[in-house]
Structure 1
Amino acid sequence: MGSTIMIVLLGEIIPQAICSRYGLVIGAHTHVITWASMIVTGIISYPLGFILNKILGQEVTASYTRDQIARMLTKINADIEKPELDVITGVLSIRKKTTSEVMTLLSDVYMLDKDRKTDTELILDLHKHGFSRIPVYSKERSNVIGIVKLRDFALITPEQYHLTVKHVLEFHSHPYGHAKATDSLYNLLQEFLRAHWHIALVQEVRTEEDHTDPAYTTVGIITLEDVFEEILQREIIEEADMFTDNRRKIRRKRAKTMDYTELAKRPVKGPSISPQLKIAVFQFLSTNIQQFTSGFISQEILKILLNYNVYAMIKKQANQSTNSIYLYKKDFRYELFTLIIQGNATLESGVEHIMSTVGSFSFFATSALL
């Protein structure tokens, strides 16, 4: 009886209690004994194990499905924070999810007709919605013929308002992909990375009653950002986003909407710039120069100000010397702020009279604004 108790205590309970807590430390100090035991007993154990594997087959090792791994991670007391756990479970689940579960329905997609004129109304509408990539359709919304980017319209001037969206589309020809509604997000992500796509059209196979051949119909779009949101298990909200969920139409509490209508109004006299350039100037001033931020001046007043005669065109004449045109001179007092919108100027600084060239969106004399 006493020997049995000693065997249980010294041979099972105490070693298990110690090794379960300090297994790596004990193993590191006793690895020589372990190797020696394996070599001595290997003469018998290796042939015996080989024969048993032939008779009984290979030992079945423990394997877990993705769902089981996800459940294990949620139950065990691991040093994993919730955002990290969300990413892990998101990665494990993208093989099960399909594009149809994540895509934006075609009826909710902001799109452009290929025959629409590239006028001021279109430019303002593009900036109001704020999407970086916009599908273009012909006749029917389901007939998508390409993708244009917001920046493609940046250099269009009022003199080019005879152009259409189709002209812009054909000039840039941005790549985009196609995906089936039943494709898994994992396979789609691999295609996005392989082909360098950022947006894909989601299509379904539909067979009409009077046609035997199946036809692909566009039912929505999906972006690389949509896939990342499923991996991160959270919505990526940008400044221009109106909704936090594009499927359930959950409106953002403080959606930032910019009205650029005032910037499209033309001044009566003097030089003017295109509405697109006005928007760029407004964004630059309101974000990069403290005196033009919302804490110092109303953004509506700034928009109105940009429609006044505040522009000047300085052009060197053919018979004019380079040094005869000055914006600012040393030892002179100026009460004028200057922003170069287009072109360049030469800046002379220091006692060494170092010459450097400054270009578009360089500014001077911000102290004059105080």
Structure 2
Amino acid sequence: MVLLIIYLFIAIGISFLCSILEAVLLSTPDSYVEVLKNEKRKGAATLDKLKSEIDKPLSAILTINTIAHTIGAAGVGAQASKVFGEVYFGIISAILTLLILILSEIIPKTIGATHWRKLILPSVPLLKSFLIIAFPFVILSEQITKLIAKKGKAFSFSRQDLSTIASIGYKEGIIDKDESQLIFNLMKLDKVQTEDIMTPRIVMVTASEKMTVGKLFNQKDELNFSRIPIYNKNKEDITGYVLKADVWEKVAMDEHEVTLADLKREITKVYERVPVPRLFQLMVKKNDMMALVIDEYGGTEGLVTMEDIIETITGIEIVDEKDTHIDYQKLARELWKKRIEENRGNIIDL
């Protein structure tokens, strides 16, 4: 009877340990291992090595698990036949199979997958011991794997994976909605072009460079913005921009006849199809808060600001207290539609 209990422990107990170690090892993400390394936790470096060569600890676990199952099942069967007789061999085998399934597979793997954060570091010494015990089998398994498996690109996270992780994190309450949306926006940012976020030319607020600061000061619409693009011949011929602060300064000094050309600052020009990340880098490098968007022929398409980029990244509309329109792209579409309808009416009248 004592031998029966010993064999039963081998079949279930050791297998329980193997299953929980396997579940913990597979459930621990590489990102958490990096966190442990940065915190300089004891065993983190060893864990990182085990994760980087995960085939070795898994081979050791499966080897010991298989040996425990084989020896335990054979021993339980033999001892049960002696204790209870051959007639009960089938019943005992069925009970043993059920016990192994529940106690050494389902329960331990559920525990490991659920509590991997608490169990991963205590598991490291056991995993090292398993590697030593099953060393010959690990080497053999490694050689066989090299012969069978083809060399391929190592697994890496994709943008979609990171977006999915952010979504799961929000659902589980780990991060809030705004943080999840921010990560999602960043993952999609490389697909967004400058033309997608710019203020279209049709609704750009501009002023002639020949205009005096006194006249501009009296036109309140232009002064709603901190930077006003200025043009030479027409509104498509943007030559630069002026700062509202410079205009106010000249007005305060009673220099009303100073023209905007005298206060003109150089404006950065970017192509409409430049990706937003590249646009952001360019504007930061040049310390610009505004850029003129042009097409492939150099024609003016619109205007983009650092504010537009921040709105695209965060998904939060930044509205000045004096802005009369929130979505200038929507306004441009409405004005364009209205213009088409007016032209269509004129054609019919003719």
- Quickly name the TM-score band, shorter chain normalised: 0.5 to 0.7
Higher share of residues assigned strand: 1
TM-score of the two chains, using structure 2 as the length reference: 0.61
Return the structure number with greater helix share.
2
| Shift in alpha-carbon separation, 1:59–1:18, aligned structure 2, 3 A | farther
The question of 1:4 aligning with 2:97 is answered: yes
CA offsets 1:266-289 (integer angstroms, 9 cap, x no match): xxxxxxxxxxxxxxxxxxxxxxxx
What residue is the counterpart of 1:73 in the other structure? Answer: 166
Please identify runs of 4+ aligned residues in structure 1 that moved more than 3 A.
Answer: 58-65, 71-76, 126-129
CA, structure 1 residues 165+27, in 2 after alignment: closer, same or farther (shift >3 Å)? closer
Partners of 1:113 and 1:21 lie apart in 2 by 67
Match of 1:41 among 131, 134, 138: 134
Report how far residue 105 of structure 1 moved: 0.7
What is aligned with 1:85? 180
Structure 2 alignment gaps of length 5 or more: 1-93, 333-350
The whole-number CA distance in structure 2 between the counterparts of 1:159 and 1:69 is 57
Taking structure 1 as reference, are residues 153 and 54 closer, same or farther at Cα in structure 2, changes over 3 Å only? farther
1:155 aligns with 2:246: no
Take 2:260 and 2:143, find their aligned partners in 1: how far apart are those partners? Answer: 73
- Cα offset for 1:70? 2.7
Q: Supply the distance in 1 between the matched residues of 2:146 and 2:124 (Cα, whole angstroms).
A: 27
User: TM-score, with normalisation over the residues of structure 1?
Assistant: 0.58
Q: How many residues were matched structurally?
A: 236
1:126–1:150 contact (8 Å) kept in structure 2: no
**C-alpha displacement at 1:47, in angstroms?**
5.9
**Of 120, 131, 142, the match for 2:236:** 142
| Corresponding residue for residue 29 of structure 1 | 122
Aligned-partner residue type, residue 245 of structure 1:
D
Task: Report the alpha carbon displacement of residue 51 of structure 1 after superposing the two structures with TM.
Answer: 5.4
| Residues 222-241 of structure 1 aligned to structure 2 (within 5 Å) | 222-241=304-323
The separation in 1 between residues aligned to 2:107 and 2:324, in whole angstroms, is: 63
Q: Tell me the secondary structure at the aligned position of residue 299 of structure 2.
A: strand
> Which of 1 and 2 has higher RCO (CA within 8 Å, sep 6+)?
2
Write the distance in 1 (CA, Å) between the matches of 2:226 and 2:143: 63
- The alpha-carbon distance between structure 1 residues 109 and 54, as it changes in their structure 2 partners (threshold 3 A), is farther
Contact 1:90 1:231 in 2 (8 A): yes
Deviation at 1:124, TM superposition (A): 2.9
User: Residue 27 of structure 2 aligns with which residue?
Assistant: none
| Matched ranges for 1:210-221 at <5 A | 215-221=297-303
- Mapped pair 1:188 → 2:279: yes
Task: Find 2:207's aligned residue among 101, 109, 112.
Answer: 112
